[in-house]
């Protein structure tokens, strides 16, 4: 996993190194010198510093970053329907609050395998795809049709358009839908799209 992050960092390092005096550029330079890092080593050198915006980032260490950003501490504060899928063998997520932190808006799913975001399955025509796509889209469809879109619920801005795509009023350029049989969608045309693989 750390090697994949390092490859991703190398691919985008030109953007991060534009201002060599910036703390992100300095963290990037250090991380690029790593040979075969563990995830904790990569997080100590790069993610804890450049993994997000200030004022939360930078952190002094990976441990401080892990402690501060652990979602199980705030899951009880979620105020909208929320689905979380985790795997027992995830090397990163060690604590999964299966009770949703006592929050009735939260549904927690725990699979036997899948590692950290790696639920792959055989797809059509010899392709490999993500197992999570269908359950996530089923969840979104359920929330859009039966929960959020429920006319009894006041103030809902989520709706399903004529094409079966869930959308939010005021943000019609965004949406999601389940496509039977699967299909590759390219959100922004780039080979290294931020949404690629989701």
Mean pLDDT of 52-59: 91
Q: Is the pLDDT of residue 81 over 80?
A: yes
Q: Is the pLDDT of residue 187 over 80?
A: no
Higher pLDDT, 37 or 176: 37
What pLDDT is attached to residue 50? 93
Mean pLDDT of 113-130: 82
- Nearest CA-CA partner of 1 in 91, 77, 81, 68: 91
* pLDDT tier at 44, thresholds 50, 70, 90: very high
Mean pLDDT of 60-88: 89
Q: CA-CA distance, 192 to 197, in Å (whole number)?
A: 10
Exposed/middle/buried for 39, CB within 10 Å: 0-12, 13-18, 19+? middle
Average pLDDT, the chain: 82
Q: Is the pLDDT of residue 57 over 90?
A: yes
* pLDDT tier at 179, thresholds 50, 70, 90: low
Q: Is the pLDDT of residue 29 over 50?
A: yes
What pLDDT is attached to residue 144? 77
* pLDDT tier at 37, thresholds 50, 70, 90: very high
Q: Is the pLDDT of residue 75 over 50?
A: yes
Highest mean pLDDT among 21-35, 94-108, 174-188: 21-35
Phi, psi angle pair for 86, to nearest 5°: -130, 165
Please give the C-alpha separations between residue 179 and each of 5, 25, 163, in angstroms, as whole numbers: 30, 40, 11
What pLDDT is attached to residue 151? 47
């Amino acid at each position: 996993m750390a090697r994949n992050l390092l490859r991703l960092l190398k691919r985008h390092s030109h953007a991060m190194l534009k201002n060599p005096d910036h703390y992100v550029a300095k963290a990037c330079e250090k991380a690029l010198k790593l040979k075969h890092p563990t995830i904790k080593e990569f997080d100590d050198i790069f993610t804890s510093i450049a993994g997000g915006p200030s004022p939360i980032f930078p952190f002094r260490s990976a441990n401080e970053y892990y402690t501060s950003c652990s979602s199980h501490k705030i899951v009880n504060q979620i105020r909208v329907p929320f689905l979380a899928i985790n795997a027992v063998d995830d090397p990163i997520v060690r604590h999964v609050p299966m009770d949703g932190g006592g929050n009735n808006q939260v549904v927690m799913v725990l699979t036997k395998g899948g590692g950290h975001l790696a639920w792959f399955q055989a797809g059509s025509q010899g392709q490999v795809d993500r197992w999570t796509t269908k359950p996530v889209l089923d969840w979104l469809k359920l929330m859009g049709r039966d929960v959020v879109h429920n006319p009894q619920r006041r103030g809902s801005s989520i709706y399903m358009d004529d094409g079966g795509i869930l959308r939010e009023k005021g943000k019609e350029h965004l949406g999601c839908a389940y496509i039977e049989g699967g299909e590759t969608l390219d959100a922004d045309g780039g080979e290294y799209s931020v949404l690629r693989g989701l």
